[in-house]
Structure 1
Amino acid sequence: MKLVFAFFLLLSSIAFAADRPNIVFLFADDQRPDTVAAHGNDFIKTPHLDRLAANGLSFRQNYCAGSYSGAVCVASRSMLMTGQHWHNIKDTRNWDGLPTLPERLGENGYRTFAVGKWHNGLKTLARSFQSGKNLYMGGMSDHTKVPLQELKTDGTLAEKEMGTRFSSTHFADAAIEFIDDQDSDQPYMLYVAFTAPHDPRNPPPSYRQLYYENRPPLPDNFLPDHPFDNGHVSGKKRDEGLAAHPREQSVVSDQLCEYYGLITHLDGQVGRILDAIESSEERDNTIVIYTADHGLAMGSHGLLGKQNVYEHSMGSPLIVSGPGIPKGKSTEAMTYILDLHKTIFSLCGLPIPNGIDGRDLTAIFNDPTASVRESIFLPFQDIMRAVRNDRYKLHVYPKINHVLLFDLVDDPEEMNNLADHPSYAGIVKQLTTLMENWQKHVGDLSPLSVDNPGPKEVDFSKIERSLDRWQPDWIREKYFDGRANADHGN
């Protein structure tokens, strides 16, 4: 009798699970929030992201919640997977004691499958996903020579095989194969983490040529160099070494063309995945989430990397499409990428586990004018802090006791510092208090000033450029004077 009861209990749980939606999570790498045509960029071609936006809800103020590392992607992905703010992730390598999103979905009847970049170690991968294909276990590689591995069902990795196609194509291939193999008996979570548009900025030649011939303008906040030492511009920094100082407009223009080329090629692979979903029997029961781990400076404020707290680097696109999601709408609600952890549980009809940070965004699906928070906090290591409300944004650079204040309504490019204007002293005080409250909330113990601040000025002529081994020959020739010896990633 007990066996019969257990059998029917198993059947009922399988039937209940089968009614739940599938989740296809598409994760770009280093994509600025302003690089989707449907979101107002008239110079980039993203027809498939535009299609997704037309069929879903676009979040226009979405952020990475800062980082404990210069490899911002590591912290961003850790927060997404654990649902914890980075100050609450004590074991940043293995996430010990912190169940992951796909791990919990698997416990609730989901098939979980990973494709693409995983920069958080094998231990976390093996307990998060039941299997995976065309995985890249690292932070970056030449897009045309990606070492790929399979995650076997026993939690081990197969031997590496060198990819023969472009990275985004390989990842889309594996995603499509997985989608085509599914049936309606078991819901799934498919996680596809692209390595584009992270450098090396070497899209297929026709894609960069497309933008060389139709050049996008430089960012409105382009500067030859950052005006002060933010804590990450001095010294031998990889991302900031991708172009010489001062930044020449022609060099940044070429790199922007190459960056846009990566995004347009990625967009085409997203289109292939969307086509596979639409051709499947599960098309009406599949939720697609597209976002990126963070943005990128690409010449804004004299910077190239993402190791800063400006909007262009902490922001990222976010589009959600599927059953129950409004079509062709957008929201100005301030959100974090880590909010997707709670949100996915709600979308799947599962109880949200206790102790998860972030907010459930499903209220916004019902009313895109709704909000889930009144402010955003952006802490980067112990060298930068920013907080914003619906209008103003405060930057604090504790190592040099420097403060910036921007009116994001009148100055969305963050170029006109109001912090020293007496009429804005009250706003600075108000936002400083808000920042301190956020610090208490997330357990951030870093001071906002120091007794012996360092110099603000930077002698950019003394900065050595770092070259990593993944840059292809034509990029070394073009941007590094043909330099052969790499000093990073060996």
Structure 2
Amino acid sequence: MNSTRLRLFCCVIVSAFLYLVGSPEPTQAEEKRFNVLFIAVDDMNNDLGCYGNSQVHSPNIDRLAKTGTCFDRAYCQFPLCSPSRTSIMTGLRPDTTTVYDLKKHFRKVLPNVVTLPQAFEKQGYFTARVGKIYHYGNPGQIGTNGLDDDASWQTRVNPSGRDKREESLIINHTPKRGLGSSLSFLAAEGTDEEQTDGMVATEAIRLMEENKDKPFFIAAGFYRPHCPYVAPKKYFDMYPMQKVPRWKNDFPEVKTAPELAFASNKPWPWLGANSQQLQEAQQAYWATISFVDAQVGRLLDALDRLELRDNTVIVFWSDHGYHFGDHGLVMKQSLFERSARVPLIVVAPGQKEKGTHSGRTVELVDLYPTLTDLCGVTSPERLHGESLVPLLDNPMADWNKPAITQTKRNQNRMGYSLRNERYRLVTWGEGENQLYDYENDPDEKNNLANSPEHAQLMEQLMAELKPHMK
């Protein structure tokens, strides 16, 4: 038999065999080749319609929540940009990464760690970032790679818009502070698309269009509502000043909580701003939330237009929360609820329950195992979080894991917080503790740490927290 006939004979035999036994079943990974759209916002607290704030206009984030699961008790691991984002992207807590500031890169400590997008790339995904996912200075390093991780991405895009070019126009109510940590704002002229965040949406949409026929992990990192609070003027017009709340300098809780609890603001209160200046900054902060919301809407519309919605996992998250007047504080780096709590929405194709709220206590460190679980991607061993998939199918499923948040004071004072569904314990060491009962005291006015009636609870929660303390 010549070679041509031999090849033909073999083809016939193989075809007959496949016909008889059927095609092989697809593997789990092949069945779950979902895309991931990973949407990050910077310094956004829970002032959103889907979290019960009726003053803030957030229709697009709200409609996202109606298609998935909105986590009502989600918490960051460290209320500062770089430590928090490092934990999310490595799946490891801050005491393992040892990133506690805005300068240290996790690769100096963990050179071989497999980040979340790297795990997807190893499975054949296209991975790309637009804007801020890992830390870089906002607004100082807009347009650069900042403290990014080159190994995490096949493509990186660093937009820089009109907000960056017009920084000289910004009003700063805390002039001794740089723009990246100030109560400063600008009601800008021009269109959404001219702003850096508008460009983030435009570029992320372009990447989805170019890669719609292959599995992708595309991260869109928005810069707002981080200060300076810059957005087109039309978003400021949504919040007439007479409807923006104005705080009084009256905080009796400082008498019972340790001084370290308020030390994120120096001077206290409100970094030296007065109540009118704080009110103006609050208006601007809400305007930037609505501006970012509109850009999220553009991403969701693009998914629908490209017919990708049914095959894409969408995650919306903020790196930490944000104070705006409560406890005499603004911004982050405290262990109170407004600083540690974050908005978190997960939408997964085929999830049994949609448009639900879960009251279970979850953490941003849970995102790594959740996404690899949903997409059938192999994840590294010893991740510190747990997959949230059971809560997507049943938001009230059994779940006993608390949330651990920490922050640093000075050079060597680390504060740790344990939050469960009712209580928060905070310890700064040396007997400086806080205990809050959110069922009876949602505003954290009454520190129960020294209450004899709560001594047993304090002991129980402290024993639960100690294994998480370095």
- Bin the TM-score by the shorter chain: 0.7 to 0.9
Q: Does 1:215 align with 2:243?
A: yes
Write out aligned runs for 1:283-362 (5 A).
283-325=309-351, 326-362=353-389
> Residue 154 of structure 2 aligns with which residue?
130
Amino acid of the structure 2 residue aligned with 1:172: A
> Which has the higher mean CA deviation after the structures are superposed, 422-431 or 121-130?
121-130
Corresponding position of 2:427: 396
| Residue 430 of structure 2 corresponds to residue 418 of structure 1 | no
Within the alignment, does 1:60 sit opposite 2:78 as a pair?
Answer: no
- Aligned counterpart, 2:401: 374
Structure 2 match to 1:206: 234
Change (3 A) 1:347 1:212: same
**Residues 1:172 and 2:172 are matched in the alignment:** no
Superimposed CA distance per residue, residues 324-371 of structure 1 (whole angstroms, 9 cap, x where no aligned partner): 232110101111111000111011112332121111111111211014
1:435 matches 2:450: no
Q: Deviations over 1:110-131 (max 9, x none)?
A: 0001001142666852100000
Q: Specify which of 401, 417, 423 is matched with residue 386 of structure 1.
A: 417
Amino acid at match of 1:392: Y
Contact 1:143–1:200 (CA under 8 A) maintained in structure 2? no
> Per-residue deviation at 1:225?
9.9
**Unaligned regions of 5+ residues in structure 2, if any?**
1-6, 8-24, 137-144, 168-191
Question: How much does 1:314 deviate?
Answer: 0.7
Identity of aligned residues (%): 28
Distance in 1, matches of 2:443 and 2:361, equals 17
- The corresponding residue for 1:41 is 53
Q: Distance in 2 between matches of 1:435 and 1:21?
A: 36
Which structure shows the bigger proportion of residues in helix conformation?
2
Once the two structures are overlaid, the 10-residue window that deviates more, 372-381 or 118-127, is 118-127
Instruction: Single out whichever of 287-296 and 322-331 deviates more from structure 2.
Output: 322-331
Q: CA deviation at 1:402?
A: 2.3
Q: CA contact under 8 A between 1:94 and 1:123: conserved in structure 2?
A: no
1:76 aligns with 2:84: yes
CA offsets per residue over residues 108-156 of structure 1, 9 Å max, x none? 01000100114266685210000022357xxxx9844399xxxxxxxxx
Distance 1:433 1:202, change over 3 A: same
Q: Per the alignment, in what secondary structure is the counterpart of residue 165 of structure 2?
A: coil
Q: CA deviation at 1:168?
A: 1.4
Residues 127, 18 of structure 1: CA spacing in aligned structure 2 closer, same or farther, 3 A cutoff? Answer: farther
Residues 231, 383 of structure 1: 8 Å contact kept: no
Between the two proteins, the alignment pairs up a number of residues equal to: 403
**CA distance in 2: counterparts of 1:32 and 1:122, whole angstroms:** 24
1:427-454 deviations in Å (ceiling 9; x for gaps): 2222222221332xxxx1xxxxxxxxxx
Give the one of 269, 291, 297 matched to 1:265.
Answer: 291
- Give the distance between the partners of 1:270 and 1:322, measured in 2 at CA: 17
**Secondary structure at the residue paired with 1:203?**
strand
The CA distance in 2 between the partners of 1:220 and 1:107, in whole Å, is 54
Classify the secondary structure of the residue corresponding to 2:194: coil
1:216 shift after superposition: 3.6
3-state secondary structure, aligned to 1:418 = coil
Alignment partners' CA distance in 2, 1:173 and 1:204: 17
Deviations 1:181-234 (Å, cap 9, x if unpaired)? 2232x2000101111010002222222232134624358997499665317737
Are the counterparts in 2 of residues 232 and 307 from structure 1 also a CA contact under 8 Å? no
Cα distance in 1, alignment partners of residues 453 and 27 from structure 2: 63
Q: 2:76·2:84 contact (CA, 8 Å) conserved in 1?
A: yes
Task: Decide which of 30, 37, 41 is 1:28's aligned counterpart.
Answer: 41
Cα distance in 1 for partners of 2:69, 2:364 equals 15
2:165 to 114, 131, 145: 145
C-alpha distance in 2 between matches for 1:178 and 1:309: 38
1:104 is the counterpart of 2:123: no
Distance 2:26 2:249 in 1: 54
Distance 1:333 1:235 in 2: 30
Bigger Rg, which one: 2
Q: Does 1:187 align with 2:202?
A: no
Contact 2:117–2:127 (CA<8 Å) still a contact in 1?
yes
Q: CA deviation at 1:52?
A: 0.3
Q: Distance in 1 between matches of 2:200 and 2:43?
A: 17
Q: Is the 8 A contact 1:287 1:321 kept in 2?
A: yes
Q: CA shift at 1:398, angstroms?
A: 2.9
SS in 1 for 2:83: helix
- Cα 1:183–1:397 change in 2 (3 A) is closer
The AA in structure 2 aligned to 1:341 is: Y
1:277 to partner: Cα distance: 0.4
Q: Is the 8 A contact 1:225 1:303 kept in 2?
A: no
- Taking a change above 3 Å as real, the CA distance of residues 122 and 251 of structure 1, as seen in their structure-2 partners, is closer
Q: Could you tell me which of 119, 129, 144 is aligned with 2:135?
A: 119
CA distance in 2: counterparts of 1:300 and 1:86, whole angstroms: 26
Provide TM-score, normalisation by structure 2: 0.78
Task: Rate the CA distance shift 1:15–1:301 in 2: closer, same or farther, 3 A.
Answer: closer
Which residue matches 1:277?
303
CA distance in 2: counterparts of 1:24 and 1:364, whole angstroms: 20
Aligned-partner Cα distance in 1 for 2:92–2:40: 18
Indicate how the Cα distance of structure 1 residues 103 and 352 shifts in structure 2: closer, same or farther if over 3 A, else same. Answer: closer
Cα 1:196–1:37, aligned 2, differ >3 Å: closer, same or farther? same
